[in-house]
Amino acid sequence: MTQSVNGEVFSVGGLRRRYEGFGLGLTPLIPGWIAAFAASRGALGERAMIIGGLATGLTIVLGVPVWEIALRTRWSRDVQVGFLVRHAGGAAVFVVAWIWLQYALNPFRVRGVADALMTSQALPWQAITGFSVYLAFVAVASIICLRNERGEGVPLQQGPVQHPPLAHIPVRIGMRTEVIPVSAIQRLEGCDDYVAVFADGRRVLASERLSRLANQLDGSRFVRVHRSHIVNLDYVRAIESLPGSRVRIVMRSGDSVTASRAGTAAIRAMFRQR
């Protein structure tokens, strides 16, 4: 089942694939759970289990926005400073919110939140754990992004183009359907059961599969450079060589796409024909 809300298309399968690996961000909590199980007898054990469950629940709730930000913030040699600054600030906000909420929601607290924080002997290791959780979410999400960008072992799957080629793509936005001319599309990005369409400085979502669109577009203008990316050659500003016989395609908008090895060969061949 697929739902569309304000042009955003969601599916159960898509969400499952999007959050694949999310659970690995919880691994820094394992030592705390081991300690909770070790003290699982009597009233002290019940408190430890409840507090551990509270910490885990807060980690999941606060981890979702961290995961989403990490998926959109890829490390590259061009954005190292921005990547580090953004995540340094994000880690600080996450740790403060995570610790404060644990004390604020603690059902066994007998003091005010500020007093409890000031007198707590557990605060240092809680801060270390919170930072480790944030780092784990960012690291796992970055690894997944890198794996998807490389597209290792994934063929282009470019089939014969239908004639005449597709001229418009309908996109559902709120309560209306907008028709986007294919000539205005700079690039397409596959997002599970839908396609992100980048055109006229906007990003909108079409309820389509990238593989289906690839067979309907004009093959003399559009090339599939990765299992998740199709670019319009008319909007390509530069092609930068990368280690490992691959290239980065820089669009006129400033966006960049890293091609797979097969995609690198395809786009080089297309430009040789032009």
Q: Output the DSSP codes for 221-243.
A: TEEEEETTEEEEGGGEEEEEEET
User: Is cis: bond before 164, omega within 30 of 0?
Assistant: yes
Would you say 150 and 260 are in contact if contact means Cβ atoms under 8 Å apart?
yes
- Paired residues of 257 in beta bridges: 249
The pTM assigned to this predicted structure is 0.55
Q: pLDDT grade, residue 194 (50/70/90)?
A: confident
User: What dihedral angle (degrees, nearest 10) is formed by the CA atoms of 214, 217, 221, 226?
Assistant: -10
> Does pLDDT of 144 surpass 80?
no
Show contacts of 215-222: CB within 8 Å, 24+ apart: 215/158, 215/159, 215/160, 215/161, 215/162, 216/161, 216/162, 216/165, 216/166, 217/161, 217/165, 217/166, 217/182, 218/161, 218/165, 218/166, 218/182, 219/158, 219/161, 219/165, 222/188
Band (231; pLDDT cuts 50, 70, 90): very high
Chain Cα centroid distance, residue 245: 25
Cα(111)–Cα(104) distance, integer angstroms: 10
What pLDDT does residue 219 have?
Answer: 84
Predicted pLDDT at 158: 47
Share of the chain above pLDDT 70, in %: 78
In DSSP terms, which residues pair with 187 in a beta bridge? Answer: 198, 231
Say which residues have a Cβ less than 8 Å from residue 183's Cβ, sequence separation at least 6: 234
Q: What is the pLDDT of residue 60?
A: 94
pLDDT at 232: 93
99 confidence band (pLDDT: 50, 70, 90): very high
Q: What is the pLDDT of residue 267?
A: 86
Q: DSSP label at 207?
A: S
Rg (CA), the chain: 23
Q: Which of 24-33, 36-45, 184-193 has the lowest mean pLDDT?
A: 36-45
Using the predicted structure, report yes or no on whether residue 217 has a pLDDT greater than 70. Answer: yes
Which position has the higher pLDDT, 22 or 69? 22
Please give the sequence-ordered ranges of beta strands (E in DSSP) within the chain, or none if there are none.
2-5, 8-11, 168-173, 176-181, 185-191, 194-199, 202-206, 222-226, 229-232, 236-242, 246-251, 256-258
pLDDT at residue 182 is higher than 60: yes
The residue among 112 and 68 whose pLDDT is bigger is: 112
